[in-house]
Amino acid sequence: MPSVRAVAAGSVGNLVEWYEFGVYGYLATVLADRFFTPTGGGTTEALVRTYASFALAFFFRPLGAALFGRLGDRVGRRPVLIGVIALMTAATALIGVLPTYATAGALAPWLLTFLRVVQGLSAGGEFGGAVALLTEYAPPGRRGLYGAWQSFTVALGLLGGAGVAAGTATVLSGDQLTSWGWRLPFLLALPLGLVALWLRVGLAETPEFRKASTDTADGTGGVGSASGVGSASGVGSASGVGSASGADVVGGRDGADGAREAAGVGARAMASAVLLGAGRVMGWAAAGYTFLVVLPSYLQTSLHTDMRHALLATVPANLGFAAAILPAGLLSDRVGRRPVMLAGAVLVAALAVPLLNLLQDGGTSATTKGVATFAAGAVVGLMAGPGPALLAEMFPARVRWTGLGLAYSLSNAVFSGCAGLIITEAVRRTGNLDVPAYYAAAACAVSALALLGTPSRKGG
């Protein structure tokens, strides 16, 4: 069935992307030693530089979302998604063969940072295209579930990255891991990327994009009302632009491109929708990276846990994340996106500090810590499941890739990419070990406020 292949083709690219981002985060302390530690450099200082490189890649994501999104909204989902995954795979594999600081000196961190920028550009395009592909192939009433596959493969990628990093650290000695073993997880992205390419090359264009292209070519894809602005209640017309209240700010699901309105209202509405969408998912971005990616380095540098146990501690968090995503997406098709995502944001805001305190307590059993990290991942999954469909439904097909890609990448640039840098530096400067919990809770509190204005859309 085309929809089955669409799920596989849309999802596997995310798996490759987030596998690599996870590996970079999990091996941050090793990369800090190999690339960012000149003679006399401190460990924490080098880790901050490593996370600065990590954050820089995220700030290129909005550029990638705009560049590839514009191409994808004009020429189609399939060809651009093929190019995006090829670029990501090549950059990731090249990290595995880079010379280190000991070999190339100051050139080494610059080469790593350059490849991270390339990854940021391609990752910025990947999310919007994958979500557009998945939701546009979704059967009636199943957009939440189909969109959730994007988040689910993010979880699989992070879990795969955690498993490979932990397995490599377990099989190899510390010296072997630091010397050459860290390269293996990055090189593994090459065969994964080739599988993604094979799936995407054989995929047809989405029916909804073909219809939108035909309507535009026939002249039937114009704006709705004279002003393009929806009703005061916040529900936009079939092809217009919604109200400023935030409900469907850029038209209905099958609407035309409101950004071409003569009065320029569409462009402002598009910008408002992007910012509102970023606000709605910022809690997902911040809490996800705090508990799923940054946690191992935090455990090593702040709580002095050895690397092997720090990596293993991330596994139950990612398992909880993965376990909650598809049920959350399916539930959002029945009760709406808002209540499911709002529940996740409120739970993180309320439980972040108590969960982190359990990890800090030396008297807490390993089982209890495992349950705590599993729960942390699961509540993030409540936001990640319906999140892709919620963003997709904010934008019509002709600007969907660009709009949802920008909203997601802007949120991730600030709240995911900077998570490791902000948390590590804040803990170093203040000595407060609760900083990660405060960071995640604050972002989720803002997301909860943004979600309150979301229409509780079901199905799709």
Over residues 419-436, the pLDDT tens digits come to: 777 888 888 889 899 999
Chain-centre distance for alpha carbon 243: 28
Give the torsion through C-alpha atoms of 392, 394, 398, 404, to 10 deg.
-60
Residue 335: predicted pLDDT: 93
* Site of tokens 């002249």: 219
Residue 241: predicted pLDDT: 35
- Judge whether 443 lies within some domain: yes
What's the rounded Cα separation, in Å, for the pair 303 and 45?
Answer: 17
Contact 377, 158 (CB under 8 A): no
Q: CATH number for the domain including 174?
A: 1.20.1250.20
Q: Say which residue, 45 or 74, is predicted with more confidence.
A: 74
Residue 206: predicted pLDDT: 77
Domain count, the chain: 1
Mean pLDDT of the chain: 80
Residue 460: predicted pLDDT: 54
Collapse the DSSP code of 241 into the 3-class scheme (helix H, G, I; strand E, B; otherwise coil) and give the result: strand
- Judge whether 236 lies within some domain: no
Q: Which two tokens stand for residue 124?
A: 């910025």
pTM greater than 0.85: no
- Judge whether 234 lies within some domain: no
Q: Which two tokens stand for residue 209?
A: 């994009």
Average pLDDT over residues 375-389: 94
- Judge whether 120 lies within some domain: yes
Q: Which of 329, 254, 6, 326 is nearest to 137 (CA)?
A: 6
Q: Which two tokens stand for residue 425?
A: 């530096």
Q: Which of 325, 349, 346, 329 is nearest to 337 (CA)?
A: 329
Q: Which two tokens stand for residue 40?
A: 């006399």
Q: Which domain holds residue 309?
A: 2-203+266-451
pLDDT-derived band at 333 (thresholds 50, 70, 90) equals very high
Contact 326, 340 (CB under 8 A): no
Q: Which of 438, 439, 420 is nearest to 298 (CA)?
A: 420
Q: Which two tokens stand for residue 134?
A: 């998945």
What's the rounded Cα separation, in Å, for the pair 189 and 34?
Answer: 20
- Judge whether 220 lies within some domain: no
Q: Which of 389, 392, 400, 340 is nearest to 148 (CA)?
A: 389
Q: Which two tokens stand for residue 258?
A: 């409101």
- Judge whether 244 lies within some domain: no
What does the DSSP assignment read for 185-200?
HHHTHHHHHHHHHHHH
- Judge whether 340 lies within some domain: yes
pLDDT, tens only, 201-250 = 877 777 777 777 776 555 554 333 333 333 333 333 333 333 333 344 45
Q: Say which residue, 399 or 13, is predicted with more confidence.
A: 399
253: Cβ contacts below 8 Å, ≥ 6 apart: 393, 396, 460
* Site of tokens 């997301």: 447
pLDDT, tens only, 153-201 = 888 887 888 788 888 888 888 788 888 999 999 998 899 888 888 888 8
Sign of CA dihedral 346, 377, 189, 50: positive
What's the rounded Cα separation, in Å, for the pair 228 and 235?
Answer: 12
142: Cβ contacts below 8 Å, ≥ 6 apart: 333, 459, 460
Residue 184: predicted pLDDT: 92
Share of the chain above pLDDT 70, in %: 84
- Judge whether 216 lies within some domain: no
Residue 124: predicted pLDDT: 85
For the cut 90, the answer to whether the pLDDT of residue 445 exceeds it is yes
